[in-house]
Amino acid sequence: MTRPVSHTALVAAIVRKDLREFSRDRLWLILTIVGLVMFIAVFWMLPGTVDETISVGVTPPDLAETLIGLSGGEGEGAPAQDDAEGQAPQGLEVVRFDSEDELRAVVAGEADGPDVAVGLAFPDDFAGLTARGEPVTVTVYVESGVPAEVRQAMESAVREIVYFAAGAAEGVDPMDVVPVRQETVVLGEDRAGEQVSMRERMRPLLAFFVLMMESLALAGLIAVEIQRRTVTALLVTPASVTDVLAAKSVLGTTLAFSETVLMLALTRSFGAGWSVLLVAALLGAVIVTGTALISGAAGKDFMGTLFLSMVLLVPLAIPAVTVLFPGSTATWVKALPTYGVMEAFVRVTSYGESWAELWGPLALAALWCVGVFGAGLLVLRRKVRTL
């Protein structure tokens, strides 16, 4: 004789069934396990230290050529006209720029160009000013991720360059050169002394890959349930649409969250800010589960589901990718759902930040969670009701 079943028991039964199905889907099982192992392996294989060679952009171009000549290297044009690099001794690489505006834009990451972390903008009439013994102002543009010691070295280098240049000018006694005045402009949030290695930069992207894998797996599971109409068989039992939606949500969020936490644990990410990381991982899991509900419900077949998943997930990957390219983050990137999550991953693990600094981005991510997850539930509910 049948007896009333609680919603919790119904949801638990559907989750157990889904887990059984998931564990028997070789494709997703292999991708999940191999993916997790591979992502963690990639993390540990990446360099944990930072390359000390600093590329320095210099304008005006004629002075850059002089400096390249003085350093015994060959010049690199901007935007990259010459092939050779001006590899100066002591890890300095001089890159020539045509204008100060271009130099500033490239250092800030707002324009394409050679990878330079520091820019030195000398006056156009630098040689004349030094020859006449007049005051010289040099602007030092520093990308926010450049360490303090490198910035100080650059400021010292500017003085040396002025003396070199003056010495190179005919008839000028370097001792007569007026001391140079410098203005240092840090582009982006100042991260002096807080260098981030490639390994650290990859952490959010690898965590996102884990979230993405689980999102794809859940979307596939939902799509199969809809395409084979097994969900209609569920709905003629005491299980309601709400129970089915709850089960899918619980399964997706739990899988994505637990695997992300596992990945973070195996990459030794948990420290003082562990609670921030856990909340960020949970928010990320909820967001990708929301996208899985949408793509699983809307996809007509496997390829359709995969395509929709990628369309939804690629924009979500952008905040994780921007970490790989230090500099100012565009406002629109900060508005993306996963920005707060990725910021938390980076700023907790690399800079030791905590709730005080991260509540804002995480609150925004939480709002996005409500939006994305709510949209997912609506789309799936509508789909199930119209089968």
Interface ranges with other proteins (CB under 8 A): 1-5, 9-10, 13, 17, 20-21, 24-25, 228-230, 232-240, 387
Strands ordered across the beta sheet of 54-59:
86-88, 92-96, 54-59, 118-121, 137-143, 181-187
- CB nearer other proteins, residue 131 or residue 235: 235
CB of 23 to other proteins, least distance (A): 9
Q: Which is nearer to other proteins, 268 or 300 (CB)?
A: 300
Least Å distance, CB 296 to other proteins, is 16
Helix axes 274-298, 241-266, angle to 10 degrees: 140
In the bound complex, what is the minimum distance in angstroms from residue 226's beta carbon to other proteins?
10
Contact of 222 with 18, CB cutoff 8 Å: no
Residue whose CB is less far from other proteins, 137 or 232: 232
- Using an 8 Å Cβ cutoff, are 94 and 56 in contact? yes
Q: Work out how close the CB of 294 gets to other proteins at its nearest, in angstroms, rounded to a whole number.
A: 22
We find the least distance from the C-beta atom of residue 18 to other proteins, in angstroms, to be 10
- Taking each helix axis as running N to C, give the angle between helix 302-322 and helix 198-227, from 0 to 180 degrees, rounded to the nearest 10: 160
CA dist list (Å): 35 to 206, 238, 261, 277:
10, 38, 14, 21
CB 10, min distance to other proteins, A? 6
Nearer to other proteins, 236 or 356 (CB): 236
Kindly report whether the peptide bond that precedes residue 89 is cis, defined as omega within 30 degrees of 0: no
Query: CA dist 8 to 21, 255, 270, 385, Å?
Result: 20, 18, 32, 22
Toward other proteins, which CB reaches closer, 100 or 243? 243
If 0-12 CB within 10 Å is exposed, 13-18 middle and 19+ buried, where does residue 82 land? middle
In terms of CB distance, is 80 or 233 closer to other proteins?
233
